[in-house]
Amino acid sequence: MRGPVALHAFVAAAALWTGGAHATPVPLHFDCRGPITQNMSATAILAAFGRNARREVIPGAEGERARAVVLYPGDPSRRLEITFWDDAQTAVAAVTAGPGGTAWTGPLGLHVGSAMAEVVTANGHNFSFNGFGWDYGGYLTSFWNGNLLKQGCAVQVRLGLPAGVKPPRSITGEREMNSTLVEVKAADPRIDTLSVGWPLPAGVQASGR
């Protein structure tokens, strides 16, 4: 969907989610098909979601900052962050439910808080991920050709550990782990961050280039 047709569809979706006249609330869900898609601009998203969306500058890895549009910024459980490839914010790079964003379900029914076993089941395979305890810790690095690799865009999952759990050294640091390891299962990791994203479109100049 592009142009006015896409905007009309997103306005209708936003009306459902924001309790518009005669609207029936629906569960919050995002995946590679929507409700935010690669070709949505920040302007269109802000128009569709009205008071439930605003521009923010959000933190990234290694001290980086990114300009984003945030849905439901006042409600941590419904917060959804949308980043863009370009300064004009016309090409979506990623849509992310971060820590606390438990109201959203994502690809294959996964959500922030899903246990590692649920990720294995949804993926149809075990998987590899970075060891815990650093900027890129917990990010999945290989889906082992599983279902999460076949969703129509890039799915990114980051695992985290329950509060108060101190992982053994064997599963921390800049090394690759996998979901079959006994030490990993004992630590009970769960989804901390869930994203979908797209590559830089042809003809779009990335920010800072």
Least confident of 82-86, 101-105, 186-190, 203-207: 203-207
Give the pLDDT band (50/70/90) at residue 56: very high
pLDDT of residue 127: 98
Both tokens of 177, joined, read 């782990």
Per-domain residue ranges of the chain: 3-104, 106-197
- In tens, the pLDDT along 17-38 reads 444 434 444 579 999 999 999 9
Q: Output DSSP code: residue 77.
A: T
State how far the Cα of 193 lies from the Cα of 9, in Å rounded to an integer: 27
Kindly list the distances between the CA atom of residue 128 and the CA atoms of 2, 118, 138, 194, in Å, as whole numbers in the listed order.
36, 15, 9, 16
Give the pLDDT band (50/70/90) at residue 209: low
State how far the Cα of 175 lies from the Cα of 177, in Å rounded to an integer: 7
State how far the Cα of 71 lies from the Cα of 53, in Å rounded to an integer: 4
Give the Cβ contact number of residue 2 at 10 Å.
9
